[in-house]
């Protein structure tokens, strides 16, 4: 291969630029022209494709966001969309593509590979919910942001005798909430994978405050968490481009319930996009570089339909068909750590 494309799609994540930089610099070193596909798959259809030069990727390893920009595209939602994408890639003279993204991106890459176009994926999502890889690019930075929030909010919680609630991202899995909950010593960790009741939550808080005589509590909750009786329902009634319910406000709902039931002073801080826009920490920069370097090697060696993945400290090639449409949930053992040591 002498001409390949690199695309970033889905929600942005810290470390994405490090991925793009790695693919481009491998191209410079190996005599392969690397073309950036801007604005995700929709940009491809509009011809937003340009050869990446050295100045394009200079000084971007530490930057958040993506120089290629991103979007949540509706391409690949209908039968025949893969052929449309392949036609667009072929018109640009591209012989293969590296797809950097999360669940939707790797599903699109899988469909592209099944339709016969060479593609290798790089796992990039702050949610860390891609199966087949231990960790995805962006997760560690997002977890660090959430941990710092817990550390900082502890002071104001204690000063004002409050229950401070931190709401993190995590639609179907609570990896960020659990990771930060363990690191930041949260008193309660609430995630989509583990059912809970408001009665049980309030009883735990009452015990902490009235039996153990603590004047504050720290709670971390993933945006997709919902109580057994669905009194805390984060679904807002509207849907995104992929027909998924938009989420938001579960932390504030919980704060109101705590105030109503216990009379405690409760406040919520929603981290939102702060988890996406932070400069990548060292571990994400290195992970992005390793995975992208491996993906480049896979593609140039004629492999396709694979995702570069981390297994322990080693790199593995995982079939995209085993990744597409699946969600990696927080394991019981990992959640147990948050329950005991949070």
Alpha carbon distances (Å) from 12 to 141, 150, 194: 12, 23, 27
SS3 assignment for 184-248: HCCCEEECCCCCCCHHHHHHHHHHHHHHCCCCCEEEEEECCCCCCCCCCCCEEEEECCCCCEEEC
- DSSP state, 229? T
Active site (annotated) includes residue 42 = no
Which of the following is catalytic: 12, 39, 81, 127? 127
- DSSP state, 250? H
Spell out the residues 6+ positions from residue 9 whose beta carbon is closer than 8 angstroms to its own. Answer: 40, 41, 70, 71, 72, 73, 99, 100, 101, 104, 105, 108
The answer to whether 237 touches 176, Cβ cutoff 8 Å, is no
| Sign of the torsion angle spanned by Cα atoms 333, 253, 269, 159 | negative
Q: Strand, helix or coil at 72?
A: coil
Strands 49-51, 33-37: pairing kind? antiparallel
Q: Strand, helix or coil at 99?
A: strand
* Rounded Cα–Cα distance for residues 65 and 163 (Å): 33
Q: Which helix (H) or strand (E) holds 140?
A: helix 139-159
- What are the residue numbers of the active site? 127
């Amino acid at each position: 291969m002498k001409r390949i494309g690199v695309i970033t799609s889905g929600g942005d994540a810290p470390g994405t630029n490090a991925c793009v930089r790695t693919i481009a610099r491998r191209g410079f070193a190996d005599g392969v022209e690397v073309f950036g596909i801007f604005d995700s798959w929709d940009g491809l259809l509009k011809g937003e494709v340009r050869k990446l030069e050295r100045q394009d990727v200079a000084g971007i390893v530490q930057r958040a966001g993506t120089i290629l920009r991103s979007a949540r595209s509706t391409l690949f939602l209908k039968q025949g969309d893969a052929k449309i994408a392949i036609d667009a890639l072929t018109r640009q003279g591209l012989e293969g593509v590296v797809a950097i993204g999360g669940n939707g991106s790797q599903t699109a890459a899988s469909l592209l590979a099944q339709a016969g176009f060479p593609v290798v994926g790089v796992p990039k999502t702050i949610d860390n919910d891609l199966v087949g890889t231990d960790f995805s690019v962006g997760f560690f930075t997002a977890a660090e942001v959430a941990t710092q929030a817990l550390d900082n909010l502890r002071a104001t919680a204690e000063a004002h005798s409050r229950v401070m609630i931190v709401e993190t991202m995590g639609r179907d899995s609570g990896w960020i909430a659990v990771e930060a909950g363990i690191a930041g010593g949260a008193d309660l960790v609430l995630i989509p994978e583990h059912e809970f009741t408001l009665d049980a939550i309030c009883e735990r808080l009452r015990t902490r405050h009235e039996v153990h005589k603590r004047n504050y509590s720290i709670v971390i909750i993933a945006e997709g968490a919902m109580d057994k009786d669905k009194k805390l329902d984060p679904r807002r009634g509207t849907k995104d481009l992929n027909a998924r319910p938009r989420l938001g406000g579960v932390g504030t709902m919980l704060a109101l319930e705590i105030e109503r039931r216990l009379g405690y002073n409760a406040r919520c801080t929603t981290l939102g996009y702060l988890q996406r826009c932070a400069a990548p920490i060292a571990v994400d920069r290195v992970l992005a570089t390793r995975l992208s370097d491996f993906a480049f090697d896979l593609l140039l060696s004629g492999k396709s339909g694979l995702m570069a993945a981390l297994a322990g400290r080693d790199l593995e090639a995982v079939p995209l068909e085993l990744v597409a449409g699946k969600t990696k949930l927080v394991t019981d053992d990992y959640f147990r750590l948050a329950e005991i040591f949070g």
